[in-house]
Structure 1
């Protein structure tokens, strides 16, 4: 499970940073507490499917992109290009 948490944490942080969305703003958009978002980014918790969907919608991506191991790397590469 730790690998899955790491993937979600990395993708969540990368998506949020690339879209220039603060944790506070993402919390409002998704209806999820800001401290929980921070804990997710720090791999403290595993996320439920419902909350993962809320975050994906708030960030404008498909839910599967939050789970795909290559999402963060792809986003970082596209940002550098």
Structure 2
């Protein structure tokens, strides 16, 4: 059993202020690994680059709803399973 914290939040200090809420998408990475897919294989299946999948997993890219749906179809999951953020 793997214990994963789905509520990872990073604060990035940038000149002139800060940005809160960069959520790493651990659920996407876990679902991808469980399907035995590399970032490149998932990217090819949904029509994006490997870098895009990496950015989504790192929390540095906000995918369109169409891309979210495509990813969920390939992974056999729902939008809630992968992309829904729980409120505290």
Q: What TM-score do you get using the length of structure 2 for normalisation?
A: 0.65
> How many equivalent residue pairs?
67
CA contact (8 A) 1:26 1:58 kept: yes
In the TM superposition, structure 1's runs of 4+ consecutive aligned residues that sit over 3 Å from their partners are none
Q: Select 1:61's aligned residue among 53, 56, 77.
A: 77
- For the pair shown, the structure with the greater C-alpha radius of gyration is 2
Cα RMSD for the two superposed structures: 2.0
Query: Which structure's residues are more often strand, by fraction?
Result: 2
Q: What TM-score do you get using the length of structure 1 for normalisation?
A: 0.69
Gaps of 5+ in 2: 1-19
Query: Which structure's residues are more often helix, by fraction?
Result: 1
Q: Select 1:31's aligned residue among 27, 42, 47.
A: 47
